[in-house]
């Protein structure tokens, strides 16, 4: 694929909008999970870890204070 030079902004270019757009993209990128990243979910009513089986059934995973895992089917 040939590399092309960037063109100069047109007369409708809005520097403040472009700055906002870059900030928004960076923020939303920070919300996504990355390959190789460690994910920690704190217990409590706010956080749930739900896995989906190959047949589409959803299971919530919980852990007790001894490290024992359990699953509960959820809708």
Per residue in 37-58, pLDDT (tens digit) is: 888 777 666 678 899 999 999 9
pTM, two decimals, is 0.48
Bigger pLDDT: 24 vs 34: 24
Q: Which residue shows structure tokens 């956080």?
A: 47
Contact indicator for 33, 39 with CB cutoff of 8 Å = yes
Rounded CA-CA distance 30/27 in Å is: 5
Backbone angles phi, psi at 13, to 5 degrees: -65, 130
Q: Are 48 and 60 in contact (CB under 8 A)?
A: yes
pLDDT of residue 22: 95
CA–CA dist 47, 41 (Å, integer): 6
């Amino acid at each position: 694929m040939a590399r092309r030079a960037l063109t100069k902004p047109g007369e409708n270019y809005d520097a403040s909008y472009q700055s906002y757009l870059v900030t928004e993209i960076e923020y939303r990128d920070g919300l996504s999970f990355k390959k190789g990243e460690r994910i920690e979910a704190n217990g409590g009513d706010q956080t749930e870890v739900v896995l989906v089986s190959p047949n589409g059934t959803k299971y919530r995973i919980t852990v007790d204070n001894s490290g024992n895992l359990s699953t509960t089917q959820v809708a």
